[in-house]
Amino acid sequence: MSAIVIASAVPPDVVAQIRARMQRGPLVSGKVTAVGRAAAIKENLILGPDSPAAAEAAGLLVGALKASPAFQAATWPEAMLRPMFCRYGVGMKYGDHVDGAIMGDATEQVRCDVAMTVCLSDAAEYEGGELVIDAAGVPKTWRGKAGDVIVYPAGTLHRVNTVTSGTRDVAISWIQSMVRDGDCRRILFDLKSALDAFDALPTPPAEAEAIRRSYFNLIRMWA
């Protein structure tokens, strides 16, 4: 499955409120959440996971994502780990890694089917800091605008390049999907996008209903 970019999934006012919580802090070393080898390759700061600011920011972000039809169509969320809010300053990076299959504490364990990155700062605010996703052996870089979201299979090798100027703020999380197979999720997303385009027409073609029937039947097969 290729990555899916959802432009402006998080409204500007929500992004501003989340960034205000990050400014409030506290920001702590991202190594506190690193497991195994990740501690040696992870160089960033995160909003203190147990802080009131982190809880408020998570509530704001989850609410915005639940209200985004495109995000729902791309991920089919069954469960999602509480988002983390990360800051990459100059010289910070995260080396090549693959996310764990099961994450969360004993009371909130999630099978990680989908990885998510939400841009909180605009690409114009920093240099470097690209998210690099190794799609079938071909690394692809991504830098989004504030409010943009990218989702991709959590088992994909990826990294964050070194920030050379400015500050990169993002939110990340992992999703357990009702549709476990990434290729199936991509097919459903593409069909839903086509149906939305047909439904926006004054008179949708009759063939749209055949596509809708196939879309619904694939959901029954895969979800």
Over the stretch 41-57, which tens digit does the pLDDT of each residue have? 999 999 999 999 999 99
What is the band of 115 on the pLDDT scale with cuts at 50, 70, 90? Answer: very high
Range of the domain at 143: 4-178
Structural domain count of the chain: 2
Residues 167 and 218 in one domain: no
Per-residue pLDDT for 1 more than 70?
no
Can you read off the two tokens belonging to residue 80? 């999602």
Residues 101 and 196 in one domain: no
CATH of the domain at 88: 2.60.120.620
Residues 125 and 207 in one domain: no
Could you identify the residue written with the tokens 């050379």? 164
Residues 57 and 156 in one domain: yes
User: Residue 183 is inside which H or E element, if any?
Assistant: helix 182-199
Per-residue pLDDT for 196 more than 90?
yes
> DSSP for 66-128?
HT-HHHHHHH-EEEEPPPEEEEE-TT-EEEEE---SEES-TTS-EE--EEEEEE-S-GGGEEE
Residues 172 and 205 in one domain: no
What is the C-alpha to C-alpha distance for residues 25 and 120, in angstroms, rounded to an integer? 15
Whole-structure pTM value = 0.92
Residues 57 and 145 in one domain: yes
Can you read off the two tokens belonging to residue 124? 């114009």
Residues 40 and 137 in one domain: yes
Output b/e per residue, 132-147; b: 16+ Cβ within 10 A: bbebeeeeeebbbebb
Residues 130 and 170 in one domain: yes
Residues 111 and 70 in one domain: yes
Residues 102 and 207 in one domain: no
Residue type, 61: L
Q: How far apart are the first and last CA of the chain?
A: 17
Residues 110 and 192 in one domain: no
Task: Give the range among 31-40, 132-141, 168-177, 192-201 with minimum mean pLDDT.
Answer: 31-40
Residues 155 and 187 in one domain: no
